[in-house]
Amino acid sequence: MNNIIDGKTIATKIKLELKEKIDKLTIKPKLVVISVGEDSASQIYIKNKAKSCEETGMLFEHFHYDKVSELKLIELINK
């Protein structure tokens, strides 16, 4: 017996449930992404995270650097 799992349907349901919970919050959760360099796979991943945040009502912020010092990255992470 084969059971087929519809991942897209499950993900949509989870996002809707999450949106309902987030809509009730006075302080919205925020996802912050820090990226360095130009990796196309990472850019697609980040774009998808931004879209998911928008769909669920979360805040999203992306800091992108072509080059950055380790000290600057640590400073940004601590902020």
Strand-strand pairing, 59-65 and 30-36: parallel
Q: Does residue 72 form part of some domain? A: yes
Phi, psi torsion values for 6, nearest 5 degrees: -95, 90
CATH classification of the domain holding 32: 3.40.50.10860
Residue 53, Cβ neighbours under 10 Å: how many?
Answer: 19
In which domain, by residue range, is 56 found?
26-78
Question: pLDDT (tens digit, 9 = 90+) per residue, 19-48?
Answer: 999 999 999 999 999 999 989 999 999 999
Number of structural domains (the chain) is 1
Calpha distance 14→16 (Å, rounded): 5
Task: Specify if 38 maps to a domain.
Answer: yes
Q: What is the pTM of this model?
A: 0.79
Instruction: Report the pLDDT value the prediction gives residue 1, as an integer from 0 to 100.
Output: 63
Q: Helix or strand or coil: residue 69? A: coil
Question: CA 1 to CA 14: how far, in whole Å?
Answer: 26
